[in-house]
Amino acid sequence: MTISFAQSRQDIANFSQYQQYFNPSLTGSNGTVVKNFYRDQWTSFEDSPRTLFLSGEYNLNDEKTEGTNHAFGAAILYDTYGALTTNYVNLSYGAGIKISEKLMFRAGVAATYNNTKFDQSKLILGDPNDPAYSSIMNAQGLNKYGLNLGVAVTSDDFYVGYSLADLVKGGDSENIYFKDNYVLQHTFNAGYRMPFSGNIGLIANGIYRYDNNLKGTAEVQLKSVFLNTFWVGAGYRNDVAYTVNAGLRLKQFVLGYNREISSGKVGNSYRGGNEINLAYYISPKFGNSKKLNFW
């Protein structure tokens, strides 16, 4: 029998909108905001992955330009994938201080909780004597607690960050799946906004993640923005999928749609998917300015 936590590295097509999830230092870097997404993936078997995500970020210094910037965030994720159901909670804190007129250095920390449950009726056995199977059958589920750390440098039009996930972890340490699947993860992310005129701009984002199990995954995304209101874009996740996306801003609401198309390099195990994103910026983020304000 072979079972793996294929969703232990959560893919998000519009990853640039959920910086807090990947790097706690970027919590609140875009103001006070509530965000969510729904994601479904198409595979060659029943019970394909489906993910629901909800987060909130509160920046204590939305109106403050001097001194230290403090922000808090919370995120929950619900994911189903075959016989596995995962509930994830992330509580983050980020602080930033200006290091020049235009640059801010940020650091952050996040406490995480992950609960994974197994539906034994959906397990397909290859070898009932496999000790890994016994480990699952004897467990009601897996519980993990973790600590993530991150740093970043940001300005009005760019960010670059590095974070460590599960730098410190604990939980069901005697379970073979806990030991094999929850490993230290490195994440590098960056973005740049390029306004070409008062009406048109380009936004570029990238992310690279690495751990000893799944090795490296890189993803890039480009968006063309019109009137700081509409955008269309495309992206690529190496060896997995191409993405196309579109969205619009209605005052403080931002709505986006992403379509993933399999690159064909992963066979029939992945056939693409859909992702719907929604955000509401509570802080006075946009106003009447034509300056690019979202990622």
pLDDT score of 39: 95
**pLDDT category of residue 4 using cuts at 50, 70 and 90:** very low
Question: What structural domains and CATH numbers belong to the chain?
Answer: 6-281 (2.40.160.40)
Which residues have CB under 8 Å from 134's CB, separation 6+?
Answer: none
Pick the residue with more confidence: 277 or 125?
Answer: 277
What's the helix, strand, coil split of the chain in %, to 5? 10, 55, 35
Per DSSP, 174 falls in state T
CA dist 52 and 183 (Å) reads 23
Joined tokens for residue 145: 């607690």
pLDDT of residue 185 exceeding 90: yes
Contacts of 122 (CB under 8 A, 6+ apart): 47, 82, 83
What pLDDT digit, counting tens, does each position of 36-79 carry?
A: 999 998 765 667 789 999 999 999 986 555 678 999 999 999 99
Neighbours of 103 (CB within 10 A): 12
- Reported residue count of the chain is 295
- DSSP letter assigned to residue 112: E
Tokens of 162: 């590095």
Taking alpha carbons only, the member of 222, 213, 221, 151 closest to residue 177 is: 213
User: Residue range 284-294: average pLDDT?
Assistant: 59
pLDDT over 70 at 290, yes or no: no
Q: Express each pLDDT in 95-121 by its tens digit.
A: 999 999 899 999 999 999 999 888 777
The per-residue pLDDT for 48 is: 79
Nearest residue to 19 (alpha-carbon basis) of 64, 89, 78, 73: 73
294 Cβ partners below 8 Å, 6+ apart? 17, 30, 203, 249, 254, 279
Report residue 294's pLDDT band, with 50, 70 and 90 as the boundaries. confident
| Of 10-14, 182-186, 229-233, 265-269, minimum mean pLDDT range | 265-269
Q: Residue holding tokens 């969703």?
A: 7
HSE-CB at 153 with a 13 A cutoff on CA atoms is 6
- Tell me which residue of 74, 65, 86 sits closest to 21, measured CA to CA: 74
Residue 234 C-alpha from the chain's centroid: 17
Residue 227 backbone zone (phi > 0: left; psi -120 to 50: alpha; other: beta):
left
Q: Is 22 helix (H, G, I), strand (E, B) or coil?
A: helix
pLDDT in tens, 242-258: 999 999 998 889 999 99
Cα–Cα distance measured from residue 178 to residue 134, given in angstroms and rounded to the nearest whole number: 14
- Residue 218 near residue 206, CB atoms below 8 Å: yes
pTM above 0.75, yes or no: yes
- As a whole number, the mean pLDDT across the chain is 85
d(CA 234, CA 222) in angstroms, rounded, equals 6
User: Which one has a higher pLDDT value, 236 or 195?
Assistant: 236
Nearest-Å Rg of the Cα atoms of the chain is 20
Q: Given this model, what pLDDT does residue 123 score?
A: 64
pLDDT value, residue 1:
38
- Supply the pLDDT for residue 81: 85
Asked whether the beta carbons of 43 and 49 are under 8 A apart, the reply is yes
Contact 24, 92 (CB under 8 A): yes
User: Which pLDDT does position 227 carry in this prediction?
Assistant: 87
